[in-house]
Structure 1
Amino acid sequence: MNKETLQTIYKQHQSRYMQEWETFLAFPSISAMEAHQADCEACASWLVSHLQGMGMDATLLEKDAKPVVFATYHVSDDAPTVLYYGHYDVQPVDPLELWESEPFTPTRKGNRLYVRGAQDNKGQTFYVLKALETLISQDALAYNIKFMLEGEEEIGSPGLAEAAQAWKDTLQADILMVCDTCAPAPGIPAISMGLRGIAYFEVELSGITSDLHSGAHGGMVKNPAVELARLIATFHDEDGHITVEGFYDDVAHISEEDRALANQFPFDTQTYIEQFGVEPIGGEKAFNAIESRGFRPTLEVNGFHSGYGGQGVKTIIPAQATAKFSARLVGHQDPEKSLEQLLTHTRKHAPKGLKMTIRHATAGGPAILLSSQSPLIQHTRTILNQLGEHETVLAWEGISIPIVADLATLSGAEPLLVGFGLEEDRIHAPNESFDLDQFALGFLYAGLFLSTPFKR
């Protein structure tokens, strides 16, 4: 199907697409909170009904917690197969007071739709659904389709890799299509050439029976907040290098060609400062912002909680302090090995006089690196170049989608990562939104790609 026909169909049905998308977005499918288990199940059931209404065979694949939505559409025995992966779960909405509209009430402001999940990943998944619906109705699909949506991506896809082993035969495909990444700017398409792996953990320092008077006890006991800050400081040197023993041993060497391609990604420092308020000068000093994001591992503190945070003064020594950490991994770093290296470092620097507890230590999926010379990448660039006046760029992403590497191995499919999110979408933060023009571009991409045969 050509671009003009897809654009005409989109305009004819845009109002309905928006209404259905808003229904999908209204489910508070927060996987990290047990209180939203029923909401996640209701969202999954709605998706099954919606996919069935599109003409697909759809069902729920049960696992220990949130169900997996799975649907198929068969074109012919000779057609290649696309396995689409996405997720219907979303991040928590905290801090709620920073939202300018209700987090699960879709709100249109200008050319953006504001709601949790607007982009990540309900919005990007829904433009694929609507393109797929269009091609089915027009008998224009060039691929057999397997459609898989999970409900626990935002908490690391626990148990999905193990459960998927039982579905291995069902998941066999030629292409693993993922639309959960970003574009560099409005109207500029990008193919993601890699994703980082992930591991995370939480550290608590405690032992004091209750908050203590800072005058009566100051200088007598170790302060958990101070000692945790000191522990955190041991993880990096002044050059931004992670000081954990062995952590860089398996980081892949990046060719000069790929490094040069990565630096073609349009990145403007001033625009970044205007969007986020700070300079992009984190990471290792030997690498620029683009290289640090795409090729280097990181360790970040995601949260630090201790003591009194209310109005005014309360002179105490807090009874405990907690920090949450996440590591983004690259190249050939093994998440289990990297996590153990981090925990070994943590235990080595445990302060005397306090109790250390490590919780939620989790190794997610490994990193993915794709070849810029892949025929599938070249085929996709040709399709994306039809969308507008801008040439397609290749991007080495800093994000993680934990299950993608496992699904690629299980299915035997080559990953293809194309998304239309933007930095200003504020995913994982209050006031998440999605640009409606980017949604429309995603629809065009999915429609063109899924109707254009690819042969190696």
Structure 2
Amino acid sequence: MNRNKGTWEELFEVNRERFIEEWKTFLRFPSIGADPAHHPDCAVCAEWLTAHLAAMGLQAELLATPGQPAVFAEHCGADGAPTVLLYGHYDVQPVEPVDAWTSPPFEPELRNGRLYARGAEDNKGQTFAVLKAVESLLARDALKINLKIIIEGEEESSSRGLAAKLDEWRDRLAADILMVADTGTLNDGTPTIIMGLRGLIHLAVTLRGPSHDLHSGLHGGVALNPISELARLLATLFDEEGRIAVEGFYDGIREPSAVERALIEATPFDPAAYEKSVGMPPIAGEQAFTPLERLGFRPALDINGIHGGDPNSMKTVIPSTATARMTARLAADQDPDRCLTALCDHLCRHTPDAMSLTISEAGSAGRAFRIDPNGPPVKLAQGVLRELFHCEPICHWEGASIPIIPALAAASGAAPLLVGFGHEDDCIHAPDESFSIDQFRNVYLYAANLLVAAAQTSTKKTPAHDASRTD
């Protein structure tokens, strides 16, 4: 029994308005890490965050990387106690289209119990709620573990800066549990432990036809149209059953274990609720697998954007080029480099002889990983969530990617623990992103209770953890 449970609820209510105002300050920094024009804003945001952590009573410093700076803080000295490494990111997604926002994206606005701003949920909101929990524990002298914090500024663009420093920072980052609050819940709020994430590869392809744009009346029906041919080329990537029709793409996929299969079969999924939420039924992909199996244990290939000609006018031309950008989410044990090569080879083989194909922006943003359902961190979180929310938490294999997590787990030797409280209607990566005060409070309460409970677990150092395996 956690005798401090009521304490943290009371402390949140006492500090609610201050927490919200500080959260708003954090959100006002336009820290778009992928946009060079906003790199100075990222630096200022990181400096503010470092000072804020120091004011909370942590030893905090700004760490240089080849990209955006990282913020590191710690509160150690609890001999024999576990070490928790908290990961988060202060960079946010671009805000376009700006005119689709109800209020300016970097002027936080509270409406109907929700705070609207870019980063309100992803990931400033969730990370800041955890930091406020840490602040409360420090104020009550209740932080009896060793705590380390690493908050980066490039998660939305593949964490290249942090990834480049992991080998150098192994000792600094060494921990037992890697705590991440950058995920969501299933079923509109049921506490959810994320048991795995997919890997990611990306590329852009440009199909070139005529040497210049052609008059569609003078050349239509004679000259190949790059847009039409690009559509045909992309169609070759899939078969009629929804499978990815790229030779060798599925090689090496690790099947779910008996424990994993039992857990996913026990996870509720309502197709009608999904359709109501996103506006489409869950019918894409491999039909031999359930939607949750497709999300958690199978790869997916998506076309993220297509461009050709002038989309803003009725210009009657055959354009000289057409471009598509695509990403593939990878399942456990798929090799990103091999999958990328197979995809590029397929596209080249199916390019029309009279046209040329250019591949650019090709790369890997990380491997998939799965977490041991029977591991101590999962059991710890399950106990905390049961007591706090009076229900059985869901174990869910999410289809998204946080590319740095498996690499950070390997470098730190820590077992990942991913629990967040995002909802589908938070609209992350979209206009009118928001996070409710209730969700912020849930993150705070979970973090406070988890960090207290962690001090009561075995003090034995967790062995180096392979975040890509569960066997």
* TM-score, L = length of structure 1: 0.97
Residues 43-58 of structure 1 aligned to structure 2 (within 5 Å): 43-58=45-60
Partner residue in 1 for 2:469: none
Kept in 2: contact 1:187–1:390 (CA 8 A)? no
Number of equivalenced pairs: 455
Q: For 2:267 and 2:156, locate their aligned partners in 1 and report how far apart those are by CA, in whole Å.
A: 27
- CA apart distance, 1:447: 0.1
Partner residue in 2 for 1:173: 175
Are 1:26 and 2:28 counterparts? Answer: yes
Residues 168-207 of structure 1 aligned to structure 2 (within 5 Å): 168-207=170-209
- CA apart distance, 1:319: 2.2
Kept in 2: contact 1:61–1:67 (CA 8 A)? yes
| Higher mean C-alpha deviation, range 392-401 or range 159-168 | 159-168
| Higher mean C-alpha deviation, range 217-226 or range 228-237 | 217-226
Residues 31-430 of structure 1 aligned to structure 2 (within 5 Å): 31-310=33-312, 313-430=314-431
Kept in 2: contact 1:301–1:326 (CA 8 A)? yes
Aligned-partner residue type, residue 340 of structure 2? L
Q: For 1:64 and 1:331, locate their aligned partners in 2 and report how far apart those are by CA, in whole Å.
A: 29
Structure 2 portions without partners, runs of 5+: 461-471
Q: Which contiguous aligned blocks of 4+ residues in structure 1 show a shift greater than 3 angstroms?
A: 207-210
Aligned-partner residue type, residue 381 of structure 1? Q
Aligned to 2:389, the other structure's residue is in SS state coil
Aligned to 1:165, the other structure's residue is in SS state coil
Aligned to 1:14, the other structure's residue is in SS state helix
Indicate the percent of aligned positions where both proteins have the same amino acid.
49
Note the alpha carbon deviations across 1:302-339, whole angstroms, 9 max, x for none. Answer: 1111112225x321112221111111111111222222
Kept in 2: contact 1:175–1:416 (CA 8 A)? yes
Aligned-partner residue type, residue 122 of structure 2? D
Q: For 1:49 and 1:316, locate their aligned partners in 2 and report how far apart those are by CA, in whole Å.
A: 56
Partner residue in 1 for 2:467: none
Note the alpha carbon deviations across 1:340-394, whole angstroms, 9 max, x for none. Answer: 2212222222232233221111111111111211122112100011222322111
Q: For 1:112 and 1:267, locate their aligned partners in 2 and report how far apart those are by CA, in whole Å.
A: 26
- CA apart distance, 1:264: 2.5
- CA apart distance, 1:209: 3.9
Aligned to 1:331, the other structure's residue is in SS state coil
Q: For 2:359 and 2:160, locate their aligned partners in 1 and report how far apart those are by CA, in whole Å.
A: 18
Note the alpha carbon deviations across 1:178-225, whole angstroms, 9 max, x for none. Answer: 111111134411111101111111111235343221111213322111
Aligned-partner residue type, residue 449 of structure 1? L
Structure 1 portions without partners, runs of 5+: none
Q: For 2:415 and 2:204, locate their aligned partners in 1 and report how far apart those are by CA, in whole Å.
A: 34
Aligned-partner residue type, residue 231 of structure 1? L
Aligned to 2:221, the other structure's residue is in SS state coil
Q: For 1:268 and 1:425, locate their aligned partners in 2 and report how far apart those are by CA, in whole Å.
A: 19
Partner residue in 2 for 1:14: 16
Kept in 1: contact 2:204–2:360 (CA 8 A)? yes
| Higher mean C-alpha deviation, range 264-273 or range 149-158 | 264-273
Residues 442-453 of structure 1 aligned to structure 2 (within 5 Å): 442-452=443-453, 453=455
Note the alpha carbon deviations across 1:124-156, whole angstroms, 9 max, x for none. Answer: 101100001111111101311110011111111
Note the alpha carbon deviations across 1:278-309, whole angstroms, 9 max, x for none. Answer: 11111110111111111110110111111122
Aligned to 2:68, the other structure's residue is in SS state coil
Aligned-partner residue type, residue 172 of structure 2? T
Aligned to 1:83, the other structure's residue is in SS state strand
- CA apart distance, 1:159: 4.2
Aligned to 1:236, the other structure's residue is in SS state coil
- CA apart distance, 1:266: 3.0
Q: For 2:409 and 2:152, locate their aligned partners in 1 and report how far apart those are by CA, in whole Å.
A: 15
Aligned-partner residue type, residue 272 of structure 1? Y
Kept in 1: contact 2:154–2:161 (CA 8 A)? no
Q: For 1:169 and 1:75, locate their aligned partners in 2 and report how far apart those are by CA, in whole Å.
A: 15
Q: For 1:45 and 1:305, locate their aligned partners in 2 and report how far apart those are by CA, in whole Å.
A: 39
Partner residue in 2 for 1:434: 435
